Amino acid sequence: MVLAAKQALSAKIGFSNPLSRRNPSSPLQRSPLAASFPSTDLRKRTVLAVSKPLHLSPMRAKPPARREAYEADKSEPQPIDDDAAETKSEAAKKLKIGIYFATWWALNVVFNIYNKKVLNAYPYPWLTSTLSLAAGSLMMLISWAVGIVETPKTDFDFWKTLFPVAVAHTIGHVAATVSMSKVAVSFTHIIKSGEPAFSVLVSRFLLGETFPTSVYLSLIPIIGGCALSALTELNFNMTGFMGAMISNLAFVFRNIFSKKGMKGKSVSGMNYYACLSMLSLLILTPFAIAVEGPQMWIDGWQKALSDVGPQFVGWVAAQSVFYHLYNQVSYMSLDQISPLTFSVGNTMKRISVIVSSIIIFRTPVQPVNALGAAIAILGTFLYSQAKL
């Protein structure tokens, strides 16, 4: 019975007992494998032998294909649609630029409106310019103190390099404010649209730079449009006209000094403009006191309060704050967009200021005067396209 069970087990695992295959009547023959065993133990031992010779060969492990595929699905990240991601990134960038431009234009329009209201009631442009720089400086000092904006790391070399930029910025700022105190806001901005002509002339004759022919050709509509607008201006004033021209020249030098001196400096964006405002405030304050003086400011302030009322104080605060905000946003925009895009945005900004000021202040405009403004602005746009 035990032998039968062993035979069944051998059949299942692929082995066979040679004793069970033999005819019981046939004599038992010893195999060479059992030569070492005593003959008396042969019957007591069960010898297992393979039915066929067993050949051993090196085992070659097959790659676990299914397992690899499964692990790859779990460990490797799924492929990302690059086109979709790029489209989303581009859309986000365009939205960001649009927000910058809309904020920049809106703040600039609000500043020009309140600035003109203040100057109509309080014709002291030197003090008005000083208050604008003081408000911006105070705002940035508070932002640095409370940690809203990171305090810039500056040294003496930085302020030394910034000084000529601040001088040019101060002259341009005061000259533009003087211009708006004498003429309409729209006329000042029409003349200020001729700034590219000053930039090319200064760069060509003082710095020796050369430009493509298209750049020189774009100056023709700029100069012609500004001249046509000036000749047909109903309320033309030479002081206002010269203030706008001086402002153009000063801002050209500001850009040149800033480009040459500030290259490689770590301070940029709003912190750069904050430092520029503070240094300009230090430069402007003694000149404002010398030109106008505290007594004139006090007398004019009392007259403005009696004519306008307490809201005059709000106008002064608004024009001071919005001046800093619109300039700060413009410098922040310049960090995010290309100079070409910035130039186009600056052109569109002037259009928005001119149109809004004409509507709000009901400035009388002749068709020829409007044509001159349109030609000058078109020339500014063509210049920005040809320059870059």
Residue 149 has pLDDT above 70, yes or no: yes
Query: Phi/psi class of residue 13: alpha, beta or left (left: φ > 0; alpha: ψ in -120 to 50)?
Result: alpha
Length of the chain: 388
HSE-up of residue 146 (Cα within 13 Å, Cβ side): 6
Determine contact, residues 49/18, Cβ cutoff 8 Å: yes
Range list of H helices, the chain: 2-12, 18-21, 65-75, 82-121, 125-146, 156-182, 185-192, 195-205, 213-231, 238-261, 269-291, 294-308, 311-336, 339-361, 367-387
Residue 36 has pLDDT above 70, yes or no: no
CA distance 64 to 36: 45
Q: Which of 189, 187, 192, 173 is nearest to 131 (CA)?
A: 173
pLDDT for residue 6: 47
pLDDT for residue 91: 78
CA 347 to chain centre: 19
Determine contact, residues 222/197, Cβ cutoff 8 Å: yes
* pTM greater than the 0.85 cutoff: no
Residues forming beta bridges with residue 15, ordered by sequence position: 50
Start-to-end Cα distance in the chain? 104
Q: How confident is the model at residue 232 (pLDDT cuts 50, 70, 90)?
A: confident
Q: How confident is the model at residue 79 (pLDDT cuts 50, 70, 90)?
A: low
CA distance 293 to 142: 28
Mean pLDDT of 27-54: 45
CA distance 91 to 200: 35
DSSP annotation of 33 reads: G
Sign of CA pseudo-dihedral 70, 71, 72, 77:
positive
